[in-house]
Amino acid sequence: MPGFEIFGEEEKKEIMDVLDTGVLFRYEFIEQRKGIFKVKEFESKFAHYCGASYAQAVTSGTAALKVALTALGVGPGDEVITQGFTFVATWEAIFEVGAIPVFTEIDTTLNMDPEDLKKKITSRTKCIIPVHMLGAQARVKEITAIASAHGIPVLEDTAQAAGGRIDGRHLGTFGKCGTFSFDSVKTMTTGEGGMIITDDQELWQTMSEYQDHGHDHAVNPGGRGGESRRFIGFNYRMMELQGAIGIAQLAKLDSMISAQQENKSILKNAADKISGVTFRSLVDQQGDSATFFAFSLQDREHCKRVNDSLRNDGVGAINFAENSWHFYPQWEHLLEDKSATGSGYPFFEPGGKKRVVYDPKELPQSAELLGKTLVYPVSIKMGSELLDTMCRALEKAGSV
Ligand SMILES: *Cc1c(COP(=O)(O)O)cnc(C)c1O
């Protein structure tokens, strides 16, 4: 996830365009800005790149999820299904709109298991959020087919997979909408930032209004002060500096992905020699954004031996079963109902009634899979020395 590795003259030029006008706000200041609208330009270029009709920039990937859920009309009394292997932001956003997150198992794609999804849909399910974790595709075609049979919209959390595709079609365009993050460790970055793409004009309009205090952005003689509001909103506006960096980073995204794919294939060839190794199932190998390399061993014990050996050689891998940001049984604050609110909301109703119970043993299939899986982050500039060290360590680990 390495957009920060390749900041260069392009980003500097875009930023200077903004500083030269002195306008950091994405709206208004018509005279001073001399035609420079970086956030607007970034939105339009991002939509075009993904093959979507509309894009709405916001302050973060977490905000993107909340703005999208709000525009989809999700709220209290509703359930939203996502996977138990994701970043905490996905379910934080679900709680944030007042709904209850329900978690599915992952399958060998390390993303939402469509079979388990079928079992978790209820009459209260108002949205389904598959996450394209670790740069690669969820089985989003199967998932949207199941969802549409129930009339439920799909929101793709594409925070970790910008530029990822299935048969040439961009991730984030299969569902009703797709959200992206440009935080400082994502493939392309604006420091903090997010985006939502959709083909639905009305949905986009609602998002555009909600992220800016309800402003309808209609041209009128009174300017911004004369705009009207259909509903209450909030402030999740992206600023011009982020838009500027985003334009420069987007132009480099495809070449970032190619470099990652090359580095990943070198690691994969080396790991292939480990006896009993299997690789993460990719829905479309070519469309993998290759930000991570995941491989599975025979069982948890074998996985531990392999990682001990890799660690001894200074290149230990991540075991996401133990990761407290990304895997359900490790979210102790979720499992133990920890909330900063006086009433204990969202785990408890204001009157004290429990709203939801999470059992740490609920996702055995995911625990089994992640328990025997090791993951390396892949970046653009790994360097032949590091790659050599990793390859030699993987070959050595082949016989433990
Ligand atoms: C990073 C991330 C987010 C949140 O994005 P921020 O920009 O950091 O708020 C959401 N979902 C997933 C899967 C992520 O990895």
Residue 267 has pLDDT above 90, yes or no: yes
Closest alpha carbon to 174 in 63, 60, 287 = 287
- C-alpha 83 chain-centroid distance: 12
**Domain containing 273 — which CATH number?**
3.90.1150.10
Where is the domain boundary, 189, 218, 252? 252
In a shared domain, residues 265 and 248: no
What proportion of the chain, given as a percentage, has pLDDT over 70? 100
Residue 64 confidence (pLDDT): 98
Question: Residue 131 C-alpha to ligand 1 middle, in angstroms?
Answer: 10
In a shared domain, residues 217 and 104: yes
In a shared domain, residues 188 and 239: yes
In a shared domain, residues 121 and 34: yes
Mean local confidence (pLDDT), 374-379: 96
Half-sphere exposure of 98 (CA within 13 A, CB side): 9
Q: Is the CB of 87 under 6 A from ligand 1?
A: yes
Contacts of 387 (CB under 8 A, 6+ apart): 263, 266, 267
**Domain containing 36 — which CATH number?**
3.40.640.10
Where is the domain boundary, 231, 252, 273? 252
Residue 284 has pLDDT above 90, yes or no: yes
Indicate the average pLDDT of the chain.
Answer: 97
In a shared domain, residues 147 and 203: yes
- C-alpha 1 chain-centroid distance: 12
Residue 1 has pLDDT above 90, yes or no: no
In a shared domain, residues 12 and 90: yes
Q: Is the CB of 183 under 6 A from ligand 1?
A: yes
In a shared domain, residues 147 and 12: yes
- Residue-range definition of the domain harbouring residue 333: 253-397
In a shared domain, residues 210 and 259: no
Band (pLDDT 50/70/90 cuts) for residue 297 is very high
Residue nearest to atom 6 of ligand 1 (CA): 61
- pTM of the model as a whole: 0.98
Q: Are strands 292-296 and 278-279 parallel, antiparallel or unpaired?
A: antiparallel
For the stretch 102-145, pLDDT in tens is 999 999 999 999 999 999 999 999 999 999 999 999 999 999 99
Residues classed as catalytic: 186
- Provide the domain count of the chain: 2
In a shared domain, residues 140 and 259: no
Question: Residue 295 C-alpha to ligand 1 middle, in angstroms?
Answer: 23
Q: Please answer whether residues 148 and 123 qualify as being in contact, where contact means their C-beta atoms are separated by less than 8 angstroms.
A: no
In a shared domain, residues 186 and 267: no
Q: For residue 82, give the H/E element and its range.
A: strand 79-83
